[in-house]
Amino acid sequence: MFTEIEFTHKIFLWLLTVVPFLLLWYLYKHKKQTAGLQISNTKGFEQNSKIWAFLRHFLFAIRIASICLIVLALARPQTVTVSSKTKTTRGIDIVMAIDVSASMLAKDLKPNRLEALKKVAGKFINKRPNDRIGIVEYAGESYTRTPITSDKGIVLKSMKGIEYNTVITGGTAIGMGLATAVNRIKDSKAKSKVIILLTDGVNNSGFIDPKTASELAAEYGIKTYTIGLGSNGMALSPVALNNGTFQYARVQVEIDEKLLKEIASETAGKYFRATDNKKLEEIYEEIDLLEKTEIEEFKYYNYEEKFRPLVLMALGLIIIEFLLKHTLLRGFI
């Protein structure tokens, strides 16, 4: 009964400090009330004396126990069971626009830029259980690989399946990639809409100007985080395709950071530069912290009062004391 008990009115427990004084007072009065008798032999009184002492002390013990029970009941013992329920109050829709041009096979990140991105982006997706995520691929043109969905299994499978191919026209159409992402998310009813645009080059193809696409994103209230991917200086990059195999050479890394900063600024986002695997991971971790889904937690408290059994026990002891004192033990006390 007393497992995990809490007392609502703990101040009443101070009344228990009176009990030792009651015991002292009882001992003091007992000595004064005990009559003395001088006789030559007390053998005939020994049994009666023991019964008298026991009964007298027994009734006092009952009274002390009832007082303690009443004090505990006044302190209002209770058990509390807490249950909680969480509710997502602010969802976020995210579209990841990923550059899949041939330069993403450069090996300044390990094993290459595209594989490093897929690994880090996969971790990011796993950290967003309450959000919807979609994927857009772009090179010289763009297309939606995965519409925004809450099914993380589909998104992760789609992310793992991204690879360089010759189906998409070569080049880097940043404006096209951003515009397609905007088109995917603009009609979302989510409280927050976010695009993560990643590229490792400069805008050199496509028929949509990146600035026009960023203005469109701003108009729809879509925040855009831009990431420039690539080391500083030279990087081992694919320069030719010979019998289905890429030939690599050291090439100057060129990222249009000015454009990416303008896109981020226009849409109230932020620009990042990832020069290695660790930095790329840190960037996605920072974005994860910047875009947090609000979770509302409801806690339900179930209180079960425990004072009633104590009151009933105290009342029972008082009745027992009264009955014994005025019936069976009336002739002794």
Amino acid at the residue 127: K
Please, are residues 188 and 238 in contact by the beta-carbon 8 Å criterion?
no
pLDDT for position 6? 81
DSSP designation for 169: P
Q: Provide the CATH number for the domain around residue 131.
A: 3.40.50.410
Please, are residues 148 and 132 in contact by the beta-carbon 8 Å criterion?
yes
Q: Which residues of the chain have pLDDT under 70?
A: 1-3, 30-56, 84-90, 293-299, 328-333
Tell whether 250 and 287 lie within a shared domain. yes
Please, are residues 295 and 86 in contact by the beta-carbon 8 Å criterion?
yes
Number of structural domains the chain divides into = 2
pLDDT for position 281? 96
Give the model confidence (pLDDT) of 88-119 as tens digits: 556 799 999 999 999 999 999 999 999 999 99
pLDDT for position 85? 67
Residues spanned by the domain of 52: 6-34+44-81+302-326
User: Is there a domain that residue 39 lies in?
Assistant: no
Tell whether 138 and 61 lie within a shared domain. no
pLDDT for position 302? 81
Strands 192-199 and 222-229, bridge-based pairing? parallel
Tell whether 67 and 122 lie within a shared domain. no
Tell whether 312 and 244 lie within a shared domain. no
How far out from the chain centre does Cα 92 lie? 17
Tell whether 181 and 263 lie within a shared domain. yes
